[in-house]
Amino acid sequence: MRGDPVSRMEVRFRGALGRFALDVAFEVPARGITALFGPSGCGKTSVLRCVAGLQRLEGRFALDGDVWQDGRHFRPTHKRPIGYVFQEANLFPHLSVRANLLYGHRRTVGRGVPETIREADVVALLGIGHLLDRAPLNLSGGERQRVAVGRALLSQPRLLLMDEPLAALDRMSKDDILPYLERLHEVLSVPVLYVSHDIAEVERLADHLVLLRAGRVVANGPLAELQSDPSLPIARLPEAGVTLPAVVEGFEAAYGLTTLALDGGTLQVPGELGPPGSRRGIRIAASDVSLARRPPEGSTILNALPARILKAEPPDGVQMTAVVALGPAGTGARLLARVTRKSWDLLGLAPGEPVFAQIKGVALVQPGTGTDDPPD
């Protein structure tokens, strides 16, 4: 159900918002979730508002060749096929959940827009069937947001804009709603522009990432590619890491360990993670990876994989973030490793050198999100 792999979204806006200068130009796939990520005030919401036609700056926007704005044309907001989900759900308090859901539906399907997203599917996907007769006031924050997402989808959008949809929720409500968003992402073909400044959320949901800073694009690319670029600001975050696809190879019942195959090596991780052949997404934090010249002896670390150093930055810091590629030839998956410059110098490490990547911890993420195809 995913869109044509070559379809693109072209985004170009330039102009002043008060004293703030926005000057962005990027092209991203018109499928999956593209996260706009960057510090507060870098212009993420302004980009979404321009895409929605709520803010008019000079530029161009085209979705799959359909031009919504260029030098000559500007399609007004109400003629743009978008669903918009904000930080606050903004449901109509006097309407039931069902009536809220059907609000956008009536204005589009009722006026001849083909129905590609059906109420029953959205209700099932978002797990809101038991809430349909309730009033929004009697819902939890997470439930309200699920209804807001449902309402946006039932307006049959060709593009979903989500502006910090989880920011107003506490950690537990966030954890409750994330699996629903992950499922939506797997099942629906509507592309999403997703604004967030929470890297953990972005890593769980996004396929593609546009990094913004001070109104400009710093980088634009597939999530895994940008995560493993040590020159980008996300690699310097304390919580930096990479998400990778993995396939279950087997389970060692005596020790309760599952063997996972990655591109370029295998890992043993605690727990039974599914039958052989099943796909899992994993996340490896930079702070959980150290580098050694030789395979560790007399160590309790189970996972030490041959790899090659690709690069490390910043070369003059106390801590460096090195990117290594798994496999003796260094052609496999990329990991980040946090090392001090002192140990880097003591071990005589340098780009191109063979090393062993010692991995202390692996977290599981949903399969198929934030990852490319798993290794064969």
Ligand X SMILES: Nc1ncnc2c1ncn2[C@@H]1O[C@H](COP(=O)(O)OP(=O)(O)OP(=O)(O)O)[C@@H](O)[C@H]1O
Residue nearest to ligand X (CB): 18
Distance CA 361, CA 303 (A): 9
Least distance from ligand X to the Cβ atom of residue 26, Å: 15
Q: How many residues bind ligand X (CB under 6 A)?
A: 12
57 binds ligand X (CB under 6 A): no
Contact 319, 339 (CB under 8 A): yes
- Conformation bin of residue 235: beta by default, left when phi > 0, alpha when psi is -120 to 50: alpha
100 binds ligand X (CB under 6 A): no
Buried-exposed string 27-54: b where 16+ CB fall within 10 A, e elsewhere: ebbbbbbbbbbbeeebbbbbbbbbbbbb
228 binds ligand X (CB under 6 A): no
- The mark string for 285-324 relative to ligand X (x by CB under 6 A, - otherwise) is ----------------------------------------
49/338 with CB nearer ligand X? 49
20 binds ligand X (CB under 6 A): yes
Contacting range for ligand X; rule: CB under 6 A; set: 7-15, 40-48, 186-194, 272-280:
40-48
202/325 with CB nearer ligand X? 202
Residues 127-156 that bind ligand X (CB under 6 A): none
For residue 97, the one-letter residue type is V
| Interface pick for ligand X out of 3, 8, 17, 216 (rule CB under 6 A) | 17
Contact 10, 175 (CB under 8 A): no
Neighbour order of strands in the sheet with 216-222:
66-69, 58-63, 8-17, 20-29, 216-222, 208-213, 33-37, 192-196, 159-163, 82-85
Tokens 């890491």 sit at which residue?
241
Buried-exposed string 295-305: b where 16+ CB fall within 10 A, e elsewhere: eeeeeeeebbb
Least distance from ligand X to the Cβ atom of residue 62, Å: 21
196/290 with CB nearer ligand X? 196
Least distance from ligand X to the Cβ atom of residue 24, Å: 10
Other CB atoms within 10 Å distance of the CB of residue 65: 9
| Interface pick for ligand X out of 6, 40, 72, 137 (rule CB under 6 A) | 40
| Interface pick for ligand X out of 2, 4, 41, 129 (rule CB under 6 A) | 41
Question: Which helix (H) or strand (E) covers residue 344, if one does?
Answer: helix 341-346
196 binds ligand X (CB under 6 A): no
| Interface pick for ligand X out of 9, 33, 34, 46 (rule CB under 6 A) | 46
| Interface pick for ligand X out of 18, 275, 298, 315 (rule CB under 6 A) | 18
Other CB atoms within 10 Å distance of the CB of residue 19: 5
Q: Contact residues for ligand X (CB under 6 A)?
A: 17-18, 20, 38, 40-46, 197
